[in-house]
Structure 1
Amino acid sequence: MTASIRLSSAAGRWVLLATVLGSGMAMLDATVVNVALPKIADEFESSMAGLQWTINAYALTLAGLILLGGALGDRFGRRRMFLIGVVWFAIASALCGAAQDISMLIAARALQGVGGALLTPGSLAIIQASFLPGNRARAVGAWSGLGGVAGAIGPFVGGWLVEYAGWRWVFLLNIPLAAVVVAVTARHVPETRDANAHGRFDVLGAAMAALCLAGITYALTMMSEQDSSRALVVGSAIVGVVAGVVFVLVERRRSARDDGPQPMVPVDVFGSKQFTAINAVTFVMYGAMSVVFFLLVLTLQVVGGFSPIAAGTAMLPGTVLMLFFSARSGALAQRIGPRKPITLGVLLAAAGMLLMTRIGPHSSYIGVVLPAAIVFGIGLTLAVAPLTATVLATADERHAGVASGVNNAVARAAGLLAVAAIPPLAGLTGDAYTNPSKFEHGFRMALLTCAALMIAAAVLAFLAVRDDALSTAPPSAAPQCKVHCAIGAPPLEPDHVVPGSGEARAPNTPE
């Protein structure tokens, strides 16, 4: 189908509603589940490793399959795969809500990630392929802004549900939302696909990526657990490393051939030193950030005595700063270059982490938490938009579409590995969440580690990112997602206009 929908039309509003609600479900679950962790731990008598896996099981399947999910939509229909993803996500959410023990919850969370990998890239691809060329930028902007609002209110909703309805409703809420999305999508969203999509899928690459992340994550998570098998931990690490090597070899071989499956990650996308450097900054930065978002809400409840609502909304000032000022930060980077905003922003985020180490028993929100939230939020506001623009601008033009997807997957993989590794290294193992004094000490050690990582990311950005990275880029490399809340990963971006064609290229990679 040819893109023919206007944003101002009823059809356009229906498409926007379906895609915002669909992607919003995945975004909410990436943020609100943290608020429920103390209640989950109490009910299931879970160890810290169980809580880590509650977060990481979702991140694992999402990070490992999100690139493949976009390709499936291009081949078989974006609406079809989006609907499958929404239904899958709803069924998995119901299983989460019905979980009888921590193992069942972890398995259901992994299934949720599969659904997220199908619906997340599909929502933006539907917008890009459905709206008239002149309406796409505004449609993407509306999708981005409304998604940012969902990210801002999510922790409040999650805290309210945990406090007054029970933690299971954090997941069960997805079921009526999914029903609305399915009804609207089936009736009002047109089917689109990429007519040029051909060849086989890189299933082996996706499997090796997921196995690599799973093996290493398991080893990092369980290495400090007293009841874990040393042989299983070492074996998992070996399997993960071997799978990672196989993944690189498979992607290199497929990148060098014109026949056969298209590579999930073309290795020559990293031929640009600037693109490689900014992804290295992303990896370190988002790894540290993910640990903060995992531990902060737990600490506020376990150590600080905050209610779920108060803990869930503690970082709201930083989110609001990103909502209102991300676009201005991107414009500033366009004028003066991305190196200084990224470097300063990451350093300020590190300072916010150091301020968070002051959190202790009976800490006041105004005097202790709010200053940290504001400094941290200013840092992210300065850094994330220029980082996203630099990713798009420094990738080779033929890889413009895959650049955003790769950067998003890099960030998610970083968060997965960091949440697995840093809490155990800081002493947060076993039943640490039941001992406020032990948890307070572990939280501070973890935050000091994360601050050090952020400083390292700032040094890397200052040394490796060029100030002319944006000024020499074509206009088509400018981000279209101007507003976002970069909690789990940098914002996904739609594909760019093919120079000289006058038409938007249908996305053939997830954004």
Structure 2
Amino acid sequence: METVALNSAAGRWIMVSAILASAMAFIDGTALNVVLPSLQQSLQASAADLFWILNAYLLMLAALILIGGSMGDQLGRKKVFMTGICIFIIGSAACGLSHGVNFLIICRIIQGIGGAFMIPGSLSLVSSSINEKERGKAIGTWSSITTVVTIGGPILGGALGDAGLWRYIFFINIPIGLVALFILWKYVKEIKDEGSSHQLDYAGAIAIASGLALLTFGFLRVPALGWGHWQVYVSITAGVLLIPAFIRIEQKSRHPMMPLHLFRNATFSGANLLTFFLYAGLGAGMLFLSLNLVQVQGYTQLQSGLTFLPFTILMVVLARFAGSLADKHGPKWLLVAGPATAGVGLLLLSFVRQTSGHAAYWHTFFPGIVVFGLGMSFTVAPLTAAVMGAVSDQFSGTASGVNNAMTRISNVFANAIFGALAVLFFSGALQKQLQHTSINGNIQQQIMAQAGSLGDAHVPDAVQDKAAVKEYYHQSFIAAYAAILRISAALAWLGALMALLFIKNAVITGKQAAGKT
């Protein structure tokens, strides 16, 4: 397959279009974390509604991104990429016009469908179009810029949220998407594997989408219904059973959306395991840090977004350099040290208790964010390079889809499972505090009934000492936040262990990967 130089005109247009489209998809997730309080007030959404607004997008992305990558390999990467951008623009416009929670959730589903076709197309265009010697540098550039935009999302989201303009988080995607479409139409050539069949794995898509939907639904219902309710255990059990069913379908399918032979390559398998654990920790940590800053620590939404600025600066300075290091020395030790360092950063953040507000940022949250940012800066580009370098160009879209699916699946599970755990941790901590008070049982029940709202819990009108109960809520949220951040740190360290055990420094070609056992 003909490739181009990174600094050629064709190479630059490919990079610009890929980065613009990816930025749209990634910015929504992080920007929304910061503006959740504004969105909650504007739409009168419950805590459960907020998790569905987040997960409706992630769920469709996780469920369909594999088939999106497969379609790009078979039908043409540019064609599928552009289709995804169009759907994403439509979904974004509809999200911005939403005036109710249920309609916004439906529009987020449309966004997720568009993202599923758009995100793997972005990276597969880069991987299959740029020559092999510069591929790591190109992926590093893509990773660093898209990650900067992703982490810069909270700053934009915070500014818009404080101004009451949270809808513009969605509207901003429209001009960006239109520019990307024009560049692709005018300057980028179609790329596809001419030897591929055009048959798609519909059975596999239905199985994985249904399994993930049922698992997510089950976990999201835990805080309201408890583990013993039939909706919870039936949904989770059915979801768990559909995952091995999906694997079985892929084994038998003549045209699998996730070719299982790719996992014979230890580097490909290890990189995807690392992705799952690290991004589960990342997703949970960043979500609860954002909620903590606004709902408990008293930061404005803009101030909360600005706390991630050191992370953004580190990504700008180091991510492309890390990609070059991976090209020269291999990704293995970067992918051991990076996630391990990120885990240390999450652990440091978990020790921050109640602070005096943004004035105390520099000696409370700042050190942990810097350490966490260092770890992620040396992880993102080498991780992407390891995944894409373990397969041939023929499977670049599929490999990108698998790895991005791992990221989104881990985020879905992080939001659903950690959301349920947070309510349990919050309720347990609150119950302990109430045991040492003279508040009567009926009032205590009213106080406990607010646990599902976490940091946005409102003191019942019947409470006399409202300041004390508000403090109980804050301390209970901080206890839940600390537990979630420590679990997130453990997940990052588990990702580092996966790199140590499985990832090899040699770049494996597609033919070698297919035969590797």
Whether 1:33 and 2:32 are equivalent positions in the alignment is yes
Q: Does the 8 Å contact 1:287/1:415 carry over to 2?
A: yes
Contact 1:219/1:233, CA 8 A, preserved across alignment: yes
**Counterpart code for 2:183:** V
Q: 1:114: how far off?
A: 0.8
Which amino acid in the other structure matches residue 165 of structure 2?
Answer: G
Q: Which amino acid aligns with 1:282?
A: T
Equivalent position of 2:157 in the other structure: 158
SS in 2 for 1:223: helix
Instruction: State whether residues 270 and 501 of structure 2, in contact with CA within 8 Å, keep that contact through their aligned partners in structure 1.
Output: no
User: Would you say the 8 A contact 1:6–1:132 is kept in 2?
Assistant: yes
1:296 aligns with 2:330: no
Question: How far did 1:291 drift?
Answer: 0.8
What is the Cα deviation at residue 319 of structure 1?
A: 2.9
User: Which residue is 1:377 aligned to?
Assistant: 373
What code does the residue aligned with 2:490 have?
Answer: I
Q: In structure 2, what residue type is equivalent to 1:455? A: A
1:463 Cα deviation (Å)? 8.2
* Kept in 2: contact 1:68–1:202 (CA 8 A): yes
Cα deviations across residues 410-468 of structure 1 (Å, max 9, x unaligned)? 2321221121111222226533342364255234324324423533652674487249x
Shift of 1:339: 7.2
Asked whether the 8 Å contact 2:123–2:400 carries over to 1, the reply is no
- Corresponding residue for 2:353? 358
Compute the displacement of 1:380 (Å): 2.6
Partner of 1:243: 242
Indicate the structure (1 or 2) with the bigger Cα radius of gyration.
Answer: 2
Q: Give yes or no for the alignment of 1:406 onto 2:375.
A: no
1:239-267 deviation digits (Å, cap 9, x = unpaired): 3123223212111222xxxxx3x222233
Following superposition, the deviation at residue 60 of structure 1 comes to 0.8
* Aligned 8 A contact 1:32 1:154 in 2: yes
RMSD: 3.5
Give the aligned residue type for 2:353.
R
Cα pair distance change 1:404/1:120, threshold 3 Å: closer
- Specify the alignment match of 2:80 in structure 1: 81
The amino acid across from 1:411 in the alignment is: T
1:102-501 mapped onto 2 (5 Å cutoff): 102-130=101-129, 139-164=138-163, 166-225=165-224, 230-254=229-253, 260=254, 262-271=255-264, 276-329=269-322, 331=325, 334=330, 337=333, 341-342=337-338, 344-355=340-351, 357-360=352-355, 362=357, 364-384=360-380, 387-388=383-384, 402-427=398-423, 430-435=452-457, 437=471, 438=473, 441-455=476-490, 457-458=492-493, 461-462=496-497, 465-466=500-501, 469-471=503-505, 473-474=506-507, 477=508
- Range moving further from structure 2, 2-11 or 167-176: 2-11
CA–CA distance in 1 between the matches of 2:139 and 2:285? 29
Counterpart CA distance in 2 for 1:6 and 1:336 is 26
Q: How far apart, in 2, do the equivalents of 1:460 and 1:128 lie?
A: 24
Unaligned runs of 5+ in 2: 427-450, 458-469, 513-517
Change (3 A) 1:347 1:188: closer
Task: Give the TM-score normalised by structure 2.
Answer: 0.80
8 A Cα contact 2:144 2:319, kept in partner: no
In the alignment, is the contact (CA less than 8 A) between 2:265 and 2:390 conserved in 1?
A: yes
* Alignment pair present for 1:94 and 2:128: no
SS at match of 1:470: coil
Number of equivalent positions:
471
Contact 1:300/1:311 (8 A) holds in 2 = yes
TM-score scaled by length of structure 1: 0.81
Q: Label 1:335 to 1:222 Cα distance change in 2 as closer, same or farther (>3 A).
A: closer
Corresponding residue for residue 52 of structure 1: 51
The residue aligned with 2:439 is none
Structure-2 change in CA distance of 1:458 and 1:239 (3 Å): same
Per the TM alignment, residue 99 of structure 1 is displaced from its structure 2 partner at its CA by 1.2
Contact 2:69/2:399, CA 8 A, preserved across alignment: no
Deviation at 1:396, TM superposition (A): 10
> When you count helix as a share of all residues, which structure comes out higher?
2
Matching residue's letter, 1:153: G
CA distance in 1, matches of 2:357, 2:501: 45
